[in-house]
Amino acid sequence: MANNEDLLKKIIAHSKEYGFIFQSSEIYDGLSAAYDYGQNGVELKNNIKDYWWKSMVQYHENIVGLDSAIFMHPTVWKASGHVDAFNDPMIDNKDSKKRYRADVLVEDYLAKIEDKIKKEVNKARKRFGDDFDEKQFLATNKRVLDRQAKIDEIKGRFVDALEKNDLVALKKLIEDLEIKCPLSGSKNWTDVRQFNLMFSTQFGSLSEGANQIYLRPETAQGIFVNYLNVQKTGRMKLPFGIAQIGKAFRNEIVARQFIFRMREFEQMEMQFFVKPGEEIKWFNYWKEERMKWHLSLGIPESYYRFHEHDKLAHYANAAFDIDFDFPMGFKEIEGIHSRTDFDLEAHQKMSGKKIQYFDNEENKSYVPYVVETSIGLDRTFLAILTFAYTEEKLEDGSERVVMKIPPFLAPIKAAVLPLTKKDGLPEKARKIMDNLKYDYNCHYEEKDTIGRRYRRQDAIGTPYCITVDHQTLEDNTVTIRERDSMKQERIPMEKISGIIGEKICSVL
């Protein structure tokens, strides 16, 4: 199971060494919180996108896709509330000059107390063995109860300060909890200030009187402003959804933890338009559906949990996160929000255009309500790496790192490897490669010993290695090696494609 910094470091190093992820502009010492996906990374990323798109748009007859522009009219962001309210509270430590998110400092403090409770539970489980009753323990153990009471008290003050936007109360909470700067160790803090996360830029040339516009901080608004276009041209009936994959930009105050929190990232969002009053029913439906989607990747349930929002965003009347057990602990990977009619109503008001749905059955028009599912593509990528990264000690005493990426998402599905570079083996292997490459992303390699080549394919998560040897020339059979079990089997050449297909299609 995850939950250690060491694992994150290993994943970062492995991602670079094997062409998954590089620091942006690395030759200029990098740009913080921006990353490039390398030759294997882009394949994995595309496969995740493809799977999400298929499970949303292709499998649901009432969901259609969209690809809206990143640049949008500046009033969009006024209407959506982002100009006034898309802020994070920031605080600086005067000694280290380091900047932090004030809310994250408190959240980390709370997480530490939660960790202590977890440790108590684990200790007790070991002590009592099979007789251990976790529920009863949590409800009766004095130390746990004291800690829980402390969490509740802090949370009460925290949520109150956030809801009232009371930055003085937030600073007082940080002071009362005696939170120290992890770098300087001091409690010498500035006041808490609000910081708007949107990037802005100039649109058009200055001579034309350029407008200030924003890089979108979410893809959702592109869907809202196209609601009428899609509903009318697609003759969509409620309930229906519009799905979109695309870049989003946020000037995050603290952007650490690799691709978990980036300033440029990708979202996969779906806005589901429903009849007012039916939103909670659909919210519950999508909450469950989205969790099923995550589990369909083949990652065990223990990596996931639901997390109900303590403080609702300005547009929501219900919100849950799906959290994933990243190397840094449980953190949000996807949000499911009941956004009411907030966005469509706001765009209707600001644009002066009627944005409504005519309900034939009820013979009246209304502004639909919206349930949103919003998943981070990069965080999904990191989740898969977290689950997949495996160090193994083998029977012969050697070690290997194998990426147990779900086969249908693996960057390369099969590697074709002639045992030697001579005796006509490369020519035979090339023929196999040519047959497979129209259906699957395959890799051909003849350099190095076969053992080394297997290790390299393990390290990028290739489910199958196909080895062509002298026997192949005689009877058209090859050995096929499976990544996780490392089992090798001799099969006729014509069976290769079917075996790969069966493995990678099992989830689709």
Binding site for ligand GAP (CB under 6 A): 218, 220, 250, 252, 261-262, 265, 267, 269, 332-335, 372, 374-376, 378-379
* Shortest CB 263 distance to ligand GAP, Å: 7
Number of H helices, E strands in the chain: 17, 23
Burial class (CB in 10 A: 0-12, 13-18, 19+), 478: buried
What tokens were used for 493?
């050449």
Q: CB within 8 A of 46, min separation 6: which ones?
A: none
Select 372 or 469, whichever has its Cβ closest to ligand GAP: 372
CB of 284 to ligand GAP, least distance (A): 18
Q: Which residue lies nearer to ligand GAP by CB, 246 or 335?
A: 335
- Return the number of the residue (256 or 349) whose C-beta is nearest ligand GAP: 256
Give the CB-nearest residue to ligand GAP. Answer: 376
Q: Give the three-class secondary structure for 428.
A: helix
CB of 381 to ligand GAP, least distance (A): 10
What is the amino acid identity at position 47?
N
| Between 238 and 382, CB nearer to ligand GAP | 382
- Beta-strand ranges (E) seen in 45-182 are 63-66, 87-92, 99-101
Q: Locate tokens 């109900």: which residue? A: 308
Neighbours of 389 (CB within 10 A): 22
What would the 3-class secondary structure string for 103-124 be? HHHHHHHHHHHHHHHHHHHHHH
Do 15 and 27 contact (CB within 8 A), yes or no? no
Q: Which two tokens stand for residue 122?
A: 């684990």
Question: In terms of CB distance, is 317 or 477 closer to ligand GAP?
Answer: 317
The whole-angstrom separation of Cα 144 and Cα 119 is: 10
CB of residue 453 to ligand GAP, shortest distance in Å: 35
Report the distance separating Cα 34 and Cα 258, nearest Å. Answer: 9
Residue 391 amino acid letter: E
User: Shortest approach of ligand GAP to residue 255 CB, angstroms?
Assistant: 7
Residue 96: HSE in the Cβ half-sphere, 13 Å Cα cutoff: 15
**Between residues 244 and 472, which has the closer beta carbon with respect to ligand GAP?**
244
Q: How far is the CB of 220 from ligand GAP (least distance, A)?
A: 4
Closer by beta carbon to ligand GAP, 40 or else 380: 380
Q: How far is the CB of 320 from ligand GAP (least distance, A)?
A: 11
Least separation in angstroms between residue 375's CB and ligand GAP is 6
Whose Cβ is closer to ligand GAP: residue 12's or residue 425's?
A: 12
